[in-house]
């Protein structure tokens, strides 16, 4: 009995010792990494990555950085780095994200291989840091200053800034876009700008305020057409633009006229009611520009339509009185442009204020084209009583 018990105890002890040895056993892939050549190191890194072990990837990156001074962008070192970067995955919880970000930034700075740099940028999006963002900022800035040709790496760097960039990234990309450094890639640059814009509204307004007129127009064009910039920013920039252009003394330039029209359209598209009073005050300015041949029939008709969209408490009265003047011209056989009359009628119908009743009704008694009379009847039916 005692002998049997002793055998059991010995068996348990041996089992525990085996387990302890197994627990402290060094994995084969770590041994291969230390003893092997670069190709074996690469295989070891891949094996470790498949088992969710990222520490070997960091060792591989350290090794490649240390040996760069001797071997440069050696193809085998680059291959090892690519495997290491791939093996770390995209989950910050499974790796020391701060350390990895720092090392990736070093790789991007030290190595010039395009494929490797692309791989680094792919990973930095998941492991960003202030230092790594600054490295990408510096890279894009240097390329812009040198007016370097666009490359896949540069384009990916710009895209990466859209995802992880900071206020400096925004200012940098804004300057690049305004100066048209890479005009053929404006869409990609502006997409990244749009992603950063919503956290940089004050910067946009400051840049707009100090920009020359041609740049102001470009800023408004960029913000108004962006699918990623918020309605608030679009409205604020457009409101500033319209306010500025209608207070300029003298005959407006072609660029100022374009800025007026685009800002008004942007305000209407955003339904920016905060600018309602401003838009209403612009109407007589636009009317004067139309009468002096500075706005075409189509352009002034669009002004009327937008004015009806961004309406203030005075809009009904102003448009009603303008329709009255058009009716009086019709009475005197000075036939107004059909597009203008239709724009006023449709805007009044959309507003639905009974102030317009007499003027709309009178349209039906005059010898306007049938489409105008029909539009007036439809507008009358929409008035609220």
Q: Does any domain span residue 357? A: no
Note whether residue 83 is domain-resident. yes
Report pLDDT digits (tens) over 349-374: 999 999 999 999 999 999 999 999 99
Residues 34 and 100 placed together within one structural domain of the fold: yes
pTM above 0.85, yes or no: no
Are residue 122 and residue 155 in the same domain, yes or no? no
pLDDT-wise least confident of 26-35, 155-164, 312-321: 26-35
| pLDDT in the model for residue 359 | 96
Q: Which residues of 17-28 are buried (b: 16+ CB within 10 A; e: fewer)?
A: eeeeeeeeeeee
Both 151 and 70 in a single domain? no
159 falls within a domain: yes
Average pLDDT over residues 310-320: 94
The DSSP call for residue 365 is T
Tell me the per-residue pLDDT of 106-128, one tens digit each, with 9 for 90 and over: 999 999 999 999 999 999 999 99
Q: Does residue 21 surpass a pLDDT of 50?
A: no
What is the distance between the alpha carbons of residues 108 and 151, in angstroms, rounded to a whole number? 15
Contacts of 372 (CB under 8 A, 6+ apart): 338, 341, 342, 345, 363
Q: End of a domain among 197, 216, 231? A: 197
Picking from 54, 58, 56, 62, the residue whose alpha carbon sits closest to that of residue 91 is 54
Q: Are residues 64 and 148 in the same domain?
A: no
**Is 169 contained in some domain?**
yes
Return the minimum-mean-pLDDT range out of 14-23, 140-149, 243-252, 362-371: 14-23
Range of the domain at 121: 26-127
Last residue of one domain, picked from the residues 103, 127, 151: 127
**One domain for residues 88 and 38:** yes
**What is the rounded average pLDDT of the residues 64-70?**
92
Domain end (from 74, 93, 127)? 127
| Same domain flag for 36 and 77 | yes
- Residue 17 pLDDT: 47
What pLDDT is attached to residue 227? Answer: 86
Q: Are residues 30 and 118 in the same domain?
A: yes
In a domain, 349, yes or no: no
| pLDDT exceeds cutoff 80 at 265 | yes
Residue 358 lies in a domain: no
Residue 22 has pLDDT above 50, yes or no: no
pLDDT score recorded for residue 10: 57
Confidence of residue 23 (pLDDT cuts 50, 70, 90): very low
**In-domain check, residue 38:** yes
CB atoms within 10 A of CB 68: 18
Residues in the chain: 385
Q: What is the mean pLDDT of residues 284-302?
A: 96
Q: Are residues 140 and 76 in the same domain?
A: no
| 165 DSSP 8-state letter | -
Number of domains making up the chain: 2
Taking the C-alpha atoms of residue 35 and residue 32, their distance in angstroms, rounded to an integer, is: 5
Dump the DSSP string for 253-318.
Answer: PHHHHHHHHHHHHHHHHTT-GGGHHHHHHHHHHHHHHHHTTSS-HHHHHHHHHHHHHS--TTHHHH
Q: Which residue has the higher pLDDT, 264 or 93?
A: 264
Does 119 fall in a domain? Answer: yes
Q: Give yes or no: residues 117 and 42 share one domain.
A: yes
**CA proximity to 350, closest of 303, 306, 296, 318:** 306
Q: In this predicted structure, what is the pLDDT of residue 7?
A: 55
Together in a domain, 142 and 82: no
Task: Tell me: do 113 and 32 sit in the same domain.
Answer: yes
Assess whether 50 and 62 both reside in one domain: yes
């Amino acid at each position: 009995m005692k002998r049997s018990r002793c055998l059991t105890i010995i068996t348990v002890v041996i089992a525990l010792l085996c387990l302890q040895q197994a627990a402290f056993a060094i994995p084969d892939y770590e041994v291969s990494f230390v003893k092997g050549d670069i190709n074996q190191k690469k295989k070891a890194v891949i094996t470790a990555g498949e088992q969710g072990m990222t520490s070997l990837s960091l060792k591989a990156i350290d090794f490649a950085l240390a040996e760069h001074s001797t071997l440069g962008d050696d193809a085998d070192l680059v291959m090892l780095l690519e495997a290491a970067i791939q093996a770390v995955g995209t989950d910050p919880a499974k790796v020391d994200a701060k350390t990895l970000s720092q090392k990736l930034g070093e790789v991007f700075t030290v190595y010039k291989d395009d494929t490797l740099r692309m791989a680094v940028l792919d990973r930095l999006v998941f492991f960003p840091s202030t230092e790594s963002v600054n490295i990408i900022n510096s890279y894009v800035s240097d390329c812009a200053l040198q007016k370097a040709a666009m490359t896949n790496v540069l384009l990916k760097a710009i895209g990466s800034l859209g995802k992880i960039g900071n206020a400096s990234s925004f200012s940098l990309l804004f300057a690049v876009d305004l100066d048209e450094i890479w005009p053929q890639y404006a869409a990609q640059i502006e997409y990244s700008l749009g992603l950063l814009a919503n956290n940089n509204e004050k910067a946009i307004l400051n840049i707009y305020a100090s920009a020359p007129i041609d740049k102001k127009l470009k800023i408004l064009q960029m913000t108004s057409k962006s699918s990623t910039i918020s309605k608030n920013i679009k409205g604020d920039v457009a409101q500033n633009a319209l306010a500025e252009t209608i207070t300029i003394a003298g005959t407006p330039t072609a660029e100022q006229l374009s800025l007026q029209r685009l800002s008004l359209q942007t305000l209407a598209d955003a339904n920016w009611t905060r600018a309602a009073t401003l838009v209403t005050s612009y109407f007589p300015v636009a009317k004067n520009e139309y009468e002096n041949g500075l706005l075409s029939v189509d352009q002034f008709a669009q002004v009327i339509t937008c004015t009806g969209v961004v309406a203030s408490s005075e809009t009904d009265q102003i448009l009603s009185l303008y329709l009255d003047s058009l009716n009086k011209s019709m009475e005197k056989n000075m036939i107004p442009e059909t597009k203008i009359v239709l724009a006023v009628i449709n805007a009044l119908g959309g507003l639905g204020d009974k102030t317009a009743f007499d003027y709309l009704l009178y349209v039906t008694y005059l010898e306007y084209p049938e489409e105008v009379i029909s539009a007036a009847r439809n507008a009358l039916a929409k008035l609220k009583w």
